[in-house]
Amino acid sequence: MKKINPFVLLLFSGFLLFSCDTETKKEEGDQTMEVTPEAKVQENVKFRYELQEVAYPDAMLELYSPLENEAFEKGSIPFEFNIKNYPFEHGVKGFQLQMIINGNDPIGYNMPIFRKELETGSYKVLAYLVDEKGLALKEYGNYVERDFTVGDSKPFPESEDPYIGVNLPQNGQEFDLDEEVIVDFILVGGDLNEDQLQIKVMVDEQEYTFHEMGQVKISNLPKGEHKVSVALVDKKGNEIPGVFSKSIKQIKVTG
């Protein structure tokens, strides 16, 4: 019988070991690749635009105090509204009158006349009415804006640039894992179509742009804190200049 060269046996054994090791690493690599796409799918945020039904189109909100660019002493500032063609205090639950001061979260009121303590500074107030779902009424006359000062402060520079007031969501608002986040806003001083403007909504690093008035509903957000920004942009996607042309809210999704 012909003897096999020991060197050949050694070479053949080494080849078998290398082949087995390669197959093991390949299987381990395949398992890793199967997990990654699933994780990415779960992280994809979904945006859905929804046209708002027109409610109370004839509702009128008038502001008698403060007057435009009125100057007040530091302390309690009087606010006096007049509301027409709207069931204020009747038929609508919750706070029907909302007021945004300097782009902050809206504050709800259930009376048309009240006072509010304000520190020295320049103020821009955007007041508006809401429907039964708590969504802002967006027709002309449904909202009113006003600039004024408190204490030794200069008024905001006059500007005809449009801006937005965000009704929803609010800073620190919490949502369940399967709950949609509603983005609701008012556009002041402009028209999306006529002025070729758009609204850009961003959640962390994902964005959605649209050019119609209404709401955007966001779903599939993972647990944790998220930054939601709403910005007014031109047709090229550039942000419109202005102090109140962009609003950022921090929200949290819980289990």
Q: What CATH number does the domain containing 179 carry?
A: 2.60.40.10
Task: Tell me whether residue 10 is in a domain.
Answer: no
- Residues 46 and 220: their CA atoms lie apart, in Å, by 6
Q: Would you say residue 35 lies in a domain? A: no
Measured CA to CA, the distance from residue 83 to residue 62 in angstroms comes to 6
- CA-CA distance, 139 to 59, in Å (whole number)? 9
Nearest to 176 by CA among 228, 253, 88: 253
Range of the domain at 177: 48-254
In a domain, 22, yes or no: no
The phi and psi torsions of 33 (rounded to 5 degrees) equal -70, -30
**Of the candidates 252, 251, 128, which has an alpha carbon nearest to the alpha carbon of residue 185?**
128
**pLDDT, position 158:** 85
> 3-class SS at 66?
coil
Domain total in the chain: 1
Residue 77 in domain: yes
Query: Is 20 inside any structural domain?
Result: no
- Here the tokens at position 255 are 């289990």
Q: Which residues of 7-31 are buried (b: 16+ CB within 10 A; e: fewer)?
A: eeeeeeeeeeeeeeeeeeeeeeeee
Tell me, what's the pLDDT at 34?
A: 35
**Could you list the pLDDT tens digit for every one of the 255 residues in the chain?**
444 444 444 444 444 444 444 444 434 333 333 333 333 334 689 999 999 988 999 999 999 999 999 999 999 999 999 999 998 876 556 789 999 999 999 999 989 999 999 999 999 999 999 998 999 999 999 999 999 999 999 999 888 899 999 999 999 999 999 999 999 999 999 999 999 999 999 999 999 999 999 999 999 999 999 999 999 999 999 999 999 999 999 999 997
**Residue 8, domain member (yes or no):** no
Cβ 165 vs Cβ 126: under 8 Å: yes
Close Cβ partners of 176 (under 8 Å, ≥ 6 residues apart): 253, 254, 255
Q: Name every residue whose Cβ is closer than 8 Å to that of residue 51 and which is 6 or more positions away in sequence.
A: 212, 214
Degrees, nearest 5: CA angle 9-15-16: 90
User: Does residue 17 lie within any of the structural domains?
Assistant: no
Q: Comparing C-alpha atoms, which of 186, 51, 47 is closest to residue 106?
A: 186
In the numeric block, the tokens 């009113």 are attached to 144
From CA 110, how far away is CA 164, in angstroms rounded? 23
The answer to whether residue 24 is domain-embedded is no
